[in-house]
């Protein structure tokens, strides 16, 4: 201990966060590969990485539960290096959307290549939402503007309001459209989460503008501002490249939407905050979010998977997020869990026993999907994984 105290703490991940910053350029690599090989399969490189390489690396390299010492956190939070690594990713998201769309419209691609490219660009739109998420929690106008720009690349500009003012307030309650419920499949969750998020954002922003004495259709509307960026981006590319660009852009954006849904789906499945009064819930604690300390997927996502600390302390920066022993732990990182979520019976087999164990079998402390409540209440216990 004495030798450890003598050495100042060093962040071993300081330079590894570059991985999160360059991820949005991954489809550009596959475009280079296609140009050399003319093989449509090369446009599936991004999907191979996110659904193949990263889940396997998570299983092989496992977790890192170490935390920065509290005395190092103020300097870690103030270090501009970490912030710039997030800013730097925003232009890369735009570059990938623009170059990817131009490529899809001009290169001679088969259906396989077209689909691979659309999903790859959509993945980067999803990464852009993650970037917008990190920046959207910061207090400065520059950070929040960059956040909305990053979100606008996939047409998700309303996320900032929806997430910070809606989801964080209501997380792990039945009222939250972005908290999945025990028994709710990923597919059913999507149909509740996407419209629910949009209507909550619109309601919150309308209320704010109403307090200013304005209606919702005003230039000050912070949902319409990024929406205008999306219209200019997609409209500009369509005018430039022809109408065929629009379905490509909408396809990749739709895929980006489902990726955010996947993240929301795995982050709070079944977890429930206690009521402490009429319409009031206890403050969000680490136990109200599923956490993952898996090394590789965290390095790709600006440590988004340390989600328990994030919800307990939403303005804490990614590089300073902590592991908590009392937080429920996902069996693997998000990328692997996204794959599991695609197969609802498998998902229930993996996650339901964990939800029940976390709630110590007390169904009243679980956020249960009303439509599947019977399955759990009739004494049936899901089989252990």
Partner 1 sequence: MTRWRCPECGYRYDEIAGDLHEGFAPGMKLCGLPTDWTCPDCGIIPAREFVPDADGRNPEADKR
Helical residues (DSSP H) of the chain, grouped into ranges: 2-6, 18-22, 26-37, 45-48, 54-61, 73-78, 80-87, 89-106, 111-136, 141-152, 159-161, 168-170, 186-211, 224-241, 245-267, 295-300, 307-312, 334-341, 344-358, 373-377
**Rule CB under 8 A: is residue 283 a binding residue for partner 1?**
yes
By CB under 8 A, which span of 79-87, 208-216, 236-244, 258-266 interacts with partner 1?
208-216
Closer to partner 1 at the Cβ: 167 or 323? 167
- Count of alpha carbons within 13 Å of 352, Cβ hemisphere only? 23
**Rule CB under 8 A: is residue 211 a binding residue for partner 1?**
yes
Q: What does residue 3 show for φ and ψ, rounded to 5 degrees? A: -70, -35
User: For the residues of 70-98, what is the DSSP string, one character each?
Assistant: GGGHHHHHH-HHHHHHHHTHHHHHHHHHH
User: Are the C-beta atoms of residues 186 and 341 closer than 8 Å to each other?
Assistant: yes
User: What span, in angstroms and rounded, lies between the C-alpha atoms of 55 and 50?
Assistant: 7
**Rule CB under 8 A: is residue 210 a binding residue for partner 1?**
yes
Closer to partner 1 at the Cβ: 108 or 325? 325
How many of the chain's residues bind partner 1 (CB under 8 A)? 22
SS3 245: helix
Contacts of partner 1 in 153-172 (CB under 8 A): 164-169
CB of 76 to partner 1, least distance (A): 12
Closer to partner 1 at the Cβ: 188 or 313? 313
**Rule CB under 8 A: is residue 100 a binding residue for partner 1?**
no
Choice from 2, 3, 106, 212 touching partner 1 (CB under 8 A)? 212
Contacts of partner 1 in 308-327 (CB under 8 A): 311, 313-316
Closer to partner 1 at the Cβ: 163 or 294? 163
**Rule CB under 8 A: is residue 380 a binding residue for partner 1?**
no
**Rule CB under 8 A: is residue 282 a binding residue for partner 1?**
no
Write out the residues near partner 1 by the rule CB under 8 A. 137, 139, 164-169, 207-213, 283-284, 311, 313-316
């Amino acid at each position: 201990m004495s030798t450890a105290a003598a050495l100042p703490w060093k962040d071993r991940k300081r330079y590894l966060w570059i991985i999160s910053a360059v991820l949005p350029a991954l489809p550009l690599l596959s475009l280079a590969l296609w140009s050399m090989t003319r093989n449509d399969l090369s446009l599936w490189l991004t999907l191979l990485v996110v659904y193949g390489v990263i889940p396997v690396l998570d299983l092989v390299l496992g977790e890192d539960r170490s935390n920065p010492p509290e005395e190092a956190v103020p300097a870690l939070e103030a270090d501009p290096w970490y912030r710039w690594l997030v800013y730097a990713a925003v232009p890369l998201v735009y570059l990938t959307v623009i170059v990817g769309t131009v490529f899809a419209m001009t290169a001679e691609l088969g259906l396989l290549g077209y689909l691979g490219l659309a999903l790859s660009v959509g993945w980067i739109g999803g990464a852009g939402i993650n970037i917008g998420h990190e920046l959207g929690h910061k207090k400065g106008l520059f950070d929040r503007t960059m956040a909305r720009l990053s979100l606008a690349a996939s047409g998700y500009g309303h996320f900032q309001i929806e997430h910070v003012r809606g989801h964080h307030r209501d997380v792990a309650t039945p009222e939250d459209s972005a908290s999945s419920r025990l028994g709710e499949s990923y597919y059913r969750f999507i149909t509740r989460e996407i419209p629910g998020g949009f209507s909550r954002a619109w309601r919150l922003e309308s209320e704010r503008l109403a307090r200013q004495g304005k209606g919702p259709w005003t230039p000050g509307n912070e949902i319409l501002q990024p929406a205008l960026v999306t219209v200019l981006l997609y409209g500009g590319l369509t005018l430039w490249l022809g109408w065929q660009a629009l379905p490509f852009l909408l396809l990749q954006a739709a895929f980006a939407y489902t990726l955010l849904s996947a993240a929301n789906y795995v982050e709070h499945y079944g977890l429930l905050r206690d009521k402490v009064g009429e319409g009031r819930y206890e403050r969000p604690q680490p136990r109200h979010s599923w956490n993952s300390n898996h090394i590789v997927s965290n390095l790709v996502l600006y440590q988004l998977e340390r989600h328990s600390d994030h919800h307990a302390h939403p303005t804490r920066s990614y590089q300073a997020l902590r592991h908590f022993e009392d937080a429920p732990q996902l069996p693997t990182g998000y990328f692997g869990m996204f794959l599991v979520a695609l197969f609802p019976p498998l998902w229930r087999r993996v996650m339901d026993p964990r939800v029940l164990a976390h709630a110590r079998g007390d169904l009243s402390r679980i956020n249960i999907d009303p439509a599947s409540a019977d399955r759990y209440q009739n004494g049936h216990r899901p089989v252990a994984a």
